[in-house]
Amino acid sequence: MNTDIALQTKAAFDFIEKLYLETSYLVKEIEGILYEEEERFVIGRPSGYHVSFRTSLGLETNNVKFWFPKKFGVFFVPEEETKLKGGQTFTPVRDDLKLIYLKVLFNDSKERVPTIFSGVLYDIWKRQSDKTHKFEHLMGPIQYKDDRIFANGEAVSYEDPTLRLKGKFLKNHLFEMTNSQALVEKIVNPTLDLYRNLNP
């Protein structure tokens, strides 16, 4: 057995696990800060308290790259604009809906380093094909169509026969978020400014 390769493999998995863990703390800290704001933002829960990402268990070559998440998204919405029931939120899609969206890229061909996009999604439209018609149902399609929706980076203007989204985003490097002050100054406050000054 090649001991060096075994040790390198363990170190690689340990690093990824630590990266995921630290990022979960970062998201929870953002969640806590946003809840203290006047809008009392809560984290969206499409199917429980977790992030949304595209994944695969397929053995086909083109599916193997999705075995573990390289990017994910979460959203935050004012508490009065959603309902929590059975561990899930219910956020109706309506004309004036706008929300804070956070996207973390651990590994992406367009970005040199792990990156966080934070901003506002608005002008949201979804084809009424089900009874619930809630934003949470869009989190899967957003992850699946991520490369097309966020093709222009900080500016989002996407439309297809089933979905329309617009958005404005800020970009920061994940590894620059070394403390709470950096998080507030580089992500939370600028993103709140975008949210509060945007009138869809």
Residues 50-108: tens digit of each pLDDT:
999 998 989 999 899 889 899 999 999 999 999 999 999 999 998 899 999 999 999 99
> Residue 93: how many CB atoms within 10 A of its CB?
16
- Which residue blocks in 103-167 are alpha helix, DSSP H? 139-144, 146-149
From first to last of the 200 residues of the chain, give the pLDDT tens digit. Answer: 678 999 999 999 999 999 999 999 999 999 999 999 999 999 999 999 999 999 898 999 989 988 989 999 999 999 999 999 999 999 999 889 999 999 999 999 889 999 999 999 999 988 766 555 899 999 999 999 999 999 988 899 999 988 899 999 999 999 999 999 999 999 999 999 999 998 76
> Residue 124: how many CB atoms within 10 A of its CB?
21
At 109 the pLDDT is 85
Percentage of residues of the chain with pLDDT beyond 70:
96
Task: Compute the half-sphere exposure of residue 92: CA atoms within 13 Å on the CB side of its CA.
Answer: 7
What is the Cα 192 distance to its own chain's centre?
Answer: 16
pTM, full prediction: 0.93
- Spatial distance between the Cα atoms of 168 and 157, rounded to a whole number of angstroms: 9
Residue 2 burial class via C-beta count within 10 angstroms: exposed 0-12, middle 13-18, buried 19 and up: exposed
At 65 the pLDDT is 86
Q: Where are the domains of the chain?
A: 3-197
CA distances to 36, 93, 118 from 137, rounded to whole Å, are: 26, 10, 20
Nearest to 170 by CA among 158, 154, 194: 154
Contacts of 110 (CB under 8 A, 6+ apart): 153
At 128 the pLDDT is 67
- Spatial distance between the Cα atoms of 152 and 167, rounded to a whole number of angstroms: 11
Contacts of 11 (CB under 8 A, 6+ apart): none
Percentage of residues of the chain with pLDDT beyond 90:
82
Averaged pLDDT score across all residues of the chain: 93
